[in-house]
Amino acid sequence: MESAPTSLVFKVHRHEPELISPAKPTPCELKPLSDIDDQEALRFQIPSIQFYRYNPSMKGKDPAKIVKEAIAKALVFYYPLAGRLREGPGRKLMVDCNGEGIMFVEGDVDVSLDEFGDALHPPFPCLEELLFYVPGSSGILNCPLILVQVTRLRCGGFILALRLNHTMADAPGLVQFMIAVGEMARGASVPSVMPVWNRHIFEARDPPCVTHTHREYDEVPDTKGTIIPPDDMVYRSFSFGPTEISSIRRFIPPHLRHCSTFEIIIACIWRLRTIALRPDPKQEMRMILIINARSKSYSPVPEGYYGNAFVIPAAIATAEELGKNPLGFALEKVRKVKTEIDGEYMKSVANLMVLKGRPNFTVVGSYLVSDVTRVRFREVDIGWGMPAYGGPAKGVGPIPGVISFYIPLKNKKGEDGIVIQLGLPAPAMERFAQELGSMLKEQNTPGSSFIVSAL
């Protein structure tokens, strides 16, 4: 699988930013977020991006105008997204539903979609041009909750980039809103799935009571600033097609071969990443999983709910255990954590947030991978058909080296694969690539889709 050309450089000619308010009057009220929504770990802006090809049936139509009008119509139903966050006692977040609107930017660039390369995936060149930082718009409190930029391309296609205040929605919730925008753009008068607020389903008890152990929020002494020094980071993308996945499965014991591809790959990366970092052998290393409650049997989440509906439990082992044991050891740890999550665990997290001041997850020794392969980014049709790429705008999260996205990808043969972008100190990155290359050596043939692309 090829990576996007990092040599592509361009400048977007932008109009002045503006605010889009709901197309009709909406309720003015204060709506508290849930105790899952307003934890410290979600108080950041998360970017996504959609690439749309030229569609002859839409010739002469302006995507920026269509998106802008569709957003205004969708905000009638999703009116809290047009409000502003306020913070109350105990750091409790609430939405002031005042209809101020979301930030909107439109622009043009003298670049065609083909110039981005055959395999569209992060990192994207000149992302700061495609998702412009509007001064004063990126805070968590008292700022627009969404920023949208539509950039028209020379070829007739366009790029829709979006930045969301993560406390308002998770990835499925964001895509639910984006699909509604697409439906409005194509002439619908109401969304096919009506939004549901219901943030009370993840409220803490009164009085709060934690019923589970939550090692993902351990208070760990950070004696070295962080295990990964941010000033020595190298980012590379690693893609895995059927050949690579089959190769890794050779190292899985028979009783674990039913495990999902996601579980196997993250267990592999957790182990090799730990070996590459060379931490103290007794250092606890955390593989943090994202478990979304949607569609689970224990789930209280109704259809249409667009708030954050996930927890982040951690598989934990020492660096020595991960290095000395075979891959099955790490995989067992990952599987065990997943089986322990239930509805009570989610309630317990909400209670912990209230009791402990809404802490961040433990960063020291941690690695988190967010699987977006089942999130429907690629089903957002604005009228130009399905996007050539839809998903995270960046392959890594806001904490250097700690968060990665597990992104779907197709190779030239049409085979499904995934790509993961890692950030590591330069020496550790070389060790990681060597370790992974060694695992894949027997099957890393000319027909393989495995790549390591320096960024």
State the CATH number of the domain containing residue 234.
Answer: 3.30.559.10
Q: What is the dihedral of CA 209, 215, 219, 221, to 10 degrees?
A: 170
Question: Do residues 53 and 96 both lie within one domain?
Answer: yes
The answer to whether position 25 is within a domain reads yes
Task: List the catalytic residues.
Answer: 166, 381
Total tally of structural domains belonging to the chain: 2
The answer to whether position 302 is within a domain reads yes
Question: Do residues 43 and 133 both lie within one domain?
Answer: yes
Question: Do residues 240 and 353 both lie within one domain?
Answer: yes
Question: Do residues 260 and 313 both lie within one domain?
Answer: yes
Average the pLDDT over 149-161 and give the result: 97
The answer to whether position 89 is within a domain reads yes
Give residue-wise pLDDT tens across range 408-437.
Answer: 987 667 778 899 999 999 999 999 999 999
The answer to whether position 382 is within a domain reads no
Going from the C-alpha of 154 to that of each of 87, 157, 320, the distances in angstroms are: 44, 7, 54
Helix residue ranges per DSSP H, 104-241 = 127-130, 171-185
The answer to whether position 98 is within a domain reads yes
DSSP one-letter string for 253-297: -GGGTTS-HHHHHHHHHHHHHHHHH---TT-EEEEE--EE-TT-T
CA 308 to mean position of chain CA atoms: 12
Question: Do residues 295 and 417 both lie within one domain?
Answer: yes
Q: In terms of pLDDT, which residue wins out, 152 or 226? A: 152
Average the pLDDT over 146-166 and give the result: 97
Distance separating alpha carbons of residues 311 and 217, to the nearest angstrom: 11
Question: Do residues 193 and 234 both lie within one domain?
Answer: no
Average the pLDDT over 136-145 and give the result: 94
Question: Do residues 72 and 122 both lie within one domain?
Answer: yes
What's residue 27's pLDDT?
97
Give the SS3 label for residue 99.
coil
What values do phi and psi take at 51, rounded to 5? -110, 125
User: Percent of the chain having pLDDT more than 70?
Assistant: 93
Fill in the amino acid letter for 107: G
**Is residue 137 over pLDDT 50?**
yes
The answer to whether position 327 is within a domain reads yes
Distance separating alpha carbons of residues 150 and 106, to the nearest angstrom: 5
**Is residue 82 over pLDDT 70?**
yes
Whole-model pTM?
0.93
What's residue 230's pLDDT?
61
Query: Quick one: pLDDT band at residue 229, thresholds 50, 70, 90?
Result: low
Question: Do residues 174 and 240 both lie within one domain?
Answer: no
The answer to whether position 451 is within a domain reads no
Cβ(263)–Cβ(335) under 8 Å? yes
Question: Do residues 135 and 257 both lie within one domain?
Answer: no
Task: Tell me which residue range forms the domain holding 30.
Answer: 13-202
What's residue 454's pLDDT?
40
Question: Do residues 192 and 262 both lie within one domain?
Answer: no
Question: Do residues 164 and 262 both lie within one domain?
Answer: no
Q: In terms of pLDDT, which residue wins out, 4 or 214? A: 214
Size of the chain, expressed as the number of residues it contains: 455
| Residue from 434, 433, 374 nearest 406 by CA | 374
Distance separating alpha carbons of residues 283 and 285, to the nearest angstrom: 6
Give per-residue burial for 408-446: e unless 16+ CB within 10 Å, then b.
bbebeeeeebbbbbbbbbeebbebbbebbeebbeebbee
The answer to whether position 198 is within a domain reads yes
Question: Do residues 138 and 273 both lie within one domain?
Answer: no
